[in-house]
Amino acid sequence: MKIYIQTDIEGIAGFCFFENRKDASIENFQHRQRMRKLLTNEVNAAVKASFDAGAEEVLVNDSHGSGYNILFEELDPRCRILHGRNCSGPHWLPLLDSSFDALVLVGMHAMGGTPCAITPHSLWKINNGEIFLSEGSMAAAIAGDFGVPTVFVSGDDKITDEISKKIPRLRKVATKQALAPFQACSLIPAKSCERIYEEVREAVARRKEIAPYVIRGPVTLSLLDSENHAPPLVEVQAPVTCDTVSEAFFQYENTMSWTHFNQRDPDGFVFP
């Protein structure tokens, strides 16, 4: 049995505002390291639960920002981890294919425009508003195109509510009650890890009871904020239409200039 763990950082217990990569103060450095430690612990709980539920292979995708957030020296040594700059390769979910038995989502955040959610961003609009997807539910939809069920999600109460409505039988852990974009009432991290372990173990054991999340094509897709404008720092692109949500997503991503560089021969390219 193979398990794919997709991770982000905004949904972990203890996280409540965007990281500031430009702040060189020791206080900011220590805070960011603290958040990475909390993320690592929650991911490790999911990894150990997957193996304890019978997994033979677990692949973790460090999918926030630089892709160097998880302290992988501290992870269960039986797993493997994908790291490095996101979207610098040919696939947003590298190595995900139909050979996996389940997708597990750890540390997810709500879609852009979600009221009172912690740091909500990224709003994918499907078929002129027929469906709206967060990054977490987009991952679930892409996995669904491969026939892989999404069995677990953790994050604030807003994102767990969104994804559980789309996939009613998946297991979930609300790591915090979001009160505003930068304020939450959080579980203590140790309790969050305990809950994640319990629910992931149950989710993986019952994976065959959960159907893959599939969005039937053709799919017209665009990336918007809550007011149908492109989010800050994201290039405005025309909607794309494809047979599947996976094809539409990758085609849309590939139109953005920051994904354009020579993947096999990066000489002369400087990462921002």
Query: Mean pLDDT, 10 residues at a time, over the chain (272 residues)?
Result: 97 92 88 95 98 98 86 95 75 92 98 95 92 96 98 98 97 98 97 98 98 96 61 64 94 70 53 49
233 found inside a domain: no
20 found inside a domain: yes
151 found inside a domain: yes
85 found inside a domain: yes
220 found inside a domain: no
268 found inside a domain: no
User: What pLDDT does residue 192 have?
Assistant: 98
User: What pLDDT does residue 152 have?
Assistant: 98
Alpha-carbon distance values, 162 to 99, 155, 246 (Å): 27, 11, 20
Give the CATH number for residue 146: 3.40.50.10780
User: What pLDDT does residue 227 have?
Assistant: 46
106 found inside a domain: yes
Q: What range does the domain containing 182 cover?
A: 2-110+134-213
User: What pLDDT does residue 226 have?
Assistant: 45
25 found inside a domain: yes
What pTM was estimated for this model as a whole? 0.91
Number of domains within the chain: 1
